[in-house]
Amino acid sequence: MEADISFIGLFLQASLLVKLVMLTLLGLSIVSWAVIIQRRKLLTAAKTNALKFEDKFWSGVDLNKLYQELSARQDSNTGLEALFVSGFKEYARLNKLNGRVPEAVMDGSYRAMRVSLSRELEKLESNLPLLATIGSTSPYIGLFGTVWGIMNSFIALGAVENATLAMVAPGIAEALIATAMGLFAAIPAVIAYNRFSTQVEKIEMSYANFMEEFSSILHRQAYSEKEQA
């Protein structure tokens, strides 16, 4: 009876360990794609929200009104909105306590924005190490399954006097499927990790630029209020 060389057939004919390797790689692939889809949505939303907030911020809107508007829905503030709220809140608080010391006001406001920036970057980078892990380990997991499958095939052939290609091919094919599945899981994960890491760096740069520009505005405002006092 001829061996079934379809994917399902080769999977069913594989040894238990090779089957476990294949199922593990399938699970890693599913997890990888779930993370890819979720990260893509999050990063796209982060870029869109940043552009919208910058347009509103530089439109000449009164900063006090903008702060009051965002503070009313503080739990839903993300990205630049969170940086602005934390920075302006600390600026207003310290300005009442140290109104005649602009340097102290600016240092406190900048530190508050740095903390908020770290929290936002932590959200953006979440699960990226998982993609890197899947991308780096999946080929080795698949290779382990391949080596094990080929080893078993040759051990079985050693007990046969007349080995033919038809006897060797199915065992090698089912073993090589493990390597193919490892690459199938690893390649999208590596590509997505590199792409998302680049996007996070660009978003971080835009956040940092906003912090510097906003700090300059607060700096001028702090010294202006000091002169008027």
Q: What is the pLDDT of residues 136-151, one digit of tens each?
A: 999 999 998 888 888 8
Instruction: Read off the pLDDT band of 9 (50, 70, 90).
Output: low
Q: Residue 72 belongs to what domain range? A: 7-228
- Residue 11 inside a domain? The answer is yes
Q: Which residue has the higher pLDDT, 117 or 98?
A: 117
Q: Which residue has the higher pLDDT, 229 or 219?
A: 219
Three-state SS sequence of 53-95: HHHHHCCCCCHHHHHHHHHCCHHHCCCHHHHHHHHHHHHHHHH
Domain count, the chain: 1
Q: What is the pLDDT of residues 58-97, one digit of tens each?
A: 888 888 888 888 888 767 788 889 899 999 888 888 877 7
Task: State percent of the chain over pLDDT 70.
Answer: 82
Residue 1: predicted pLDDT: 40
- Residue 217 inside a domain? The answer is yes
CA angle 179, 184, 187 (to 5 degrees): 110
- Residue 1 inside a domain? The answer is no
Task: Give the pair of three-digit tokens for residue 208.
Answer: 């940092």
Q: Which residues are CB-neighbours of 3 under 8 A, at least 6 positions away?
A: 9, 13, 166, 170
Instruction: Read off the pLDDT band of 133 (50, 70, 90).
Output: very high
Contact between 119 and 163 under an 8 Å Cβ cutoff? The reply is no
- Residue 2 inside a domain? The answer is no
- Residue 79 inside a domain? The answer is yes
Mean pLDDT across 196-203 = 94
- Residue 46 inside a domain? The answer is yes
Q: Roughly what angle, to the nearest 10 degrees, separates helices 16-57 and 165-228?
A: 20
